[in-house]
Amino acid sequence: GEVIRAFRPSSIHSDGRMDFEIERLAVDPPIFHLHNVLTSRECELLMQSASSMVPAETVTEGDTVSRPNCKVAWLSNPLTQQMAMSIGNLFLSSPIKRNPQTRVEDLQILEY
Protein backbone atom coordinates (compact mmCIF):
# COMPACT_ATOMS: atom_id res chain seq x y z
CA GLY A 1 0.00 0.00 0.00
CA GLU A 2 0.80 3.67 0.00
CA VAL A 3 3.49 4.66 2.54
CA ILE A 4 4.24 8.14 3.89
CA ARG A 5 6.88 9.32 6.34
CA ALA A 6 5.73 11.11 9.50
CA PHE A 7 7.07 12.19 12.87
CA ARG A 8 5.81 12.83 16.38
CA PRO A 9 7.24 14.58 19.43
CA SER A 10 9.51 12.39 21.55
CA SER A 11 11.27 13.26 24.77
CA ILE A 12 13.49 10.19 24.36
CA HIS A 13 15.27 11.43 21.20
CA SER A 14 17.89 14.19 21.36
CA ASP A 15 16.26 16.10 18.49
CA GLY A 16 12.84 15.84 20.15
CA ARG A 17 11.17 13.86 17.38
CA MET A 18 10.44 10.25 16.45
CA ASP A 19 10.33 9.44 12.72
CA PHE A 20 8.07 6.62 11.53
CA GLU A 21 6.10 5.45 8.49
CA ILE A 22 2.36 5.17 7.93
CA GLU A 23 1.19 2.49 5.49
CA ARG A 24 -2.39 2.43 4.23
CA LEU A 25 -3.62 -1.16 4.22
CA ALA A 26 -7.24 -0.51 3.20
CA VAL A 27 -9.44 2.40 2.15
CA ASP A 28 -12.85 1.11 3.28
CA PRO A 29 -12.67 0.71 6.17
CA PRO A 30 -9.62 2.93 6.59
CA ILE A 31 -6.85 0.75 8.05
CA PHE A 32 -3.28 1.94 8.64
CA HIS A 33 -0.10 0.31 9.92
CA LEU A 34 2.17 2.69 11.83
CA HIS A 35 5.68 1.28 11.41
CA ASN A 36 8.10 2.02 14.28
CA VAL A 37 5.79 4.58 15.90
CA LEU A 38 7.04 3.50 19.35
CA THR A 39 10.57 3.10 20.63
CA SER A 40 11.64 -0.08 22.41
CA ARG A 41 11.69 1.86 25.68
CA GLU A 42 8.11 3.10 25.13
CA CYS A 43 6.99 -0.48 24.45
CA GLU A 44 8.64 -1.62 27.70
CA LEU A 45 6.89 1.17 29.64
CA LEU A 46 3.51 0.22 28.13
CA MET A 47 4.00 -3.45 29.02
CA GLN A 48 4.99 -2.54 32.59
CA SER A 49 1.95 -0.25 32.89
CA ALA A 50 -0.33 -3.03 31.66
CA SER A 51 0.92 -5.56 34.21
CA SER A 52 -2.24 -5.11 36.31
CA MET A 53 -4.68 -6.49 33.75
CA VAL A 54 -8.21 -7.47 34.76
CA PRO A 55 -10.70 -9.85 33.13
CA ALA A 56 -12.38 -8.07 30.22
CA GLU A 57 -16.09 -7.92 29.56
CA THR A 58 -16.27 -10.11 26.47
CA VAL A 59 -19.92 -11.08 26.17
CA THR A 60 -21.86 -9.33 23.44
CA GLU A 61 -25.53 -9.65 22.64
CA GLY A 62 -26.31 -13.24 21.68
CA ASP A 63 -22.72 -14.42 22.35
CA THR A 64 -21.98 -16.41 25.49
CA VAL A 65 -18.71 -18.20 24.71
CA SER A 66 -16.24 -15.81 23.08
CA ARG A 67 -12.82 -15.14 24.61
CA PRO A 68 -13.39 -16.38 28.16
CA ASN A 69 -9.77 -15.69 29.20
CA CYS A 70 -9.39 -12.19 27.74
CA LYS A 71 -7.81 -9.50 29.96
CA VAL A 72 -7.61 -5.73 29.56
CA ALA A 73 -5.71 -2.80 31.01
CA TRP A 74 -6.87 0.80 30.49
CA LEU A 75 -3.87 3.14 30.58
CA SER A 76 -3.96 6.86 31.23
CA ASN A 77 -0.56 8.36 31.93
CA PRO A 78 1.66 11.05 30.35
CA LEU A 79 3.12 8.59 27.80
CA THR A 80 -0.25 7.32 26.57
CA GLN A 81 -1.75 10.81 26.55
CA GLN A 82 1.16 12.13 24.46
CA MET A 83 0.80 9.17 22.07
CA ALA A 84 -2.95 9.78 21.69
CA MET A 85 -2.43 13.47 20.95
CA SER A 86 0.33 12.79 18.41
CA ILE A 87 -1.59 10.08 16.56
CA GLY A 88 -4.85 12.04 16.79
CA ASN A 89 -3.17 15.01 15.14
CA LEU A 90 -2.33 12.80 12.17
CA PHE A 91 -5.73 11.17 11.68
CA LEU A 92 -8.39 13.58 12.96
CA SER A 93 -9.73 16.38 10.77
CA SER A 94 -9.22 20.02 11.74
CA PRO A 95 -12.91 20.60 12.64
CA ILE A 96 -12.81 17.59 14.99
CA LYS A 97 -9.55 18.73 16.62
CA ARG A 98 -10.97 22.25 17.15
CA ASN A 99 -14.16 20.95 18.78
CA PRO A 100 -13.80 21.39 22.57
CA GLN A 101 -15.99 18.32 23.15
CA THR A 102 -13.62 16.00 21.26
CA ARG A 103 -12.15 13.33 23.55
CA VAL A 104 -9.97 10.25 23.08
CA GLU A 105 -10.41 7.05 25.07
CA ASP A 106 -7.65 5.85 27.35
CA LEU A 107 -5.33 3.33 25.69
CA GLN A 108 -6.52 -0.28 25.93
CA ILE A 109 -4.04 -3.13 26.03
CA LEU A 110 -5.61 -6.55 25.53
CA GLU A 111 -4.38 -10.06 26.25
CA TYR A 112 -6.18 -12.89 24.45
Cis peptide bond upstream of 29, omega within 30: yes
- What is the distance between the alpha carbons of residues 97 and 94, in angstroms, rounded to a whole number? 5
pLDDT value for 84: 83
Task: Read off the DSSP letter of residue 51.
Answer: T
- What is the distance between the alpha carbons of residues 102 and 74, in angstroms, rounded to a whole number? 19
pLDDT value for 22: 95
Model pTM score: 0.71
Burial (CB count <10 Å: 0-12, 13-18, 19+), residue 83: buried
pLDDT 10s per residue in the chain (112 long)?
799 999 888 877 788 888 999 999 999 999 999 999 988 888 898 888 888 888 876 666 766 666 677 888 888 888 888 888 888 888 888 998 889 888 778 888 888 8
